[in-house]
Structure 1
Amino acid sequence: MPSGKKQPINWCKFKKRPRKHSEALWKRFIGACDYFFEKKNEQFSGQKKEETENLAKKKEIIEKLKNFQKAETEKESLATVRTLTDEWKTIGFVPFKEKDTIYQEYRKALDKVYDELNVEKSQRHLDNFQNRLDNLDGDKERRKLVRTYEFLKSEIATYENNLNFLSISSKKGGGLLQEIERKVEKMKNEMQLIEKKIDIIDQQ
């Protein structure tokens, strides 16, 4: 009758693998490991090389922005800038430690060009958003924008109700009315910007 205790393993019944077979198996194992790490190193070296090349490409675009010269027309100037920003977006990853630095240099150079061309801040904001979109979860960002849009829509409705109330009941609420009107106008502009951002995501 079983006692419930673990029975000792009789190792003697397991035959040892012949030495020559063990050595062959070991060599196969070492060979497989060497092959794995060799391929891994090749992949890492290739990735590192590609990131370094991408960094050089981005630096080249920054130099072009720094040396930017206005064209004969504003339309031509903006087209040139758009070409450079589109090219920037097609370039892949750069070394991680350089990522933030190179992006800040790019934004600084681009903002300077935008200043020269008197490009509106809203357009700059959209360009910046489009550049960052590759690093964002599009669906998640879209849901976030929709929630913000609906919130602003609700806030505007509340403020506009207050505007109607103040304009009817108060003759001395001119300053408050103007403040609310400014807030409403600002929120409407934000909603328009959100609509454009959503369009950008939908076009991806």
Structure 2
Amino acid sequence: MKHIYTYGGQIAQRHLTVGCLIKNKAQGKRMTQVTAFDASEAAAAAEQNIDTLTVDSGTVAEIRNAAPHIFITAAQYMRQYVTEDEALGGAIDAMAKGADAIYSPRGLTTIERIAREGISVQGHTGLFPARATQFGGLRTVGKTADEALGLLQDFRRLEEAGAYSCEVECVADEALAEI
């Protein structure tokens, strides 16, 4: 159990921290993650020793109470915040309520803005379902060399913007293995 101070200034304990997640990834250790929509699902996940939870940013306080030691990533959705200021405000609010990190599918400037405030932020690359029209519909991304190189650039840009991790959706296995 790791002793931490939360973003809201409270003393707390977590099974994992961002540092642990990065170390585990580097060592090839597999971890479990589920989405919890309410306190009962969060409590069930805790009973099953799930490593991390992804939750709607509006449910952080409820879920933190039900699963006090699990690493929680609060998800911000595309339509939830229009401006970078709104996204930053939502991130600060979710962190103050007990989130350990923020997930944002928004652009690099939003990721950078959140990260500059010392908030651990997870980006997104690959297929964005809400932007599927830009990809010619719902499909696997990264099947061509150009698309695979574009994904590599996306990962690098997210890292440069301050993202500690990245959700990858519908990406060709071969491209992801090479990246």
Calculate the TM-score normalised by the size of structure 1.
0.23
Name the structure where strand makes up a greater proportion of residues: 2
Larger radius of gyration: 1
Calculate the TM-score normalised by the size of structure 2.
0.25
Name the structure where helix makes up a greater proportion of residues: 1
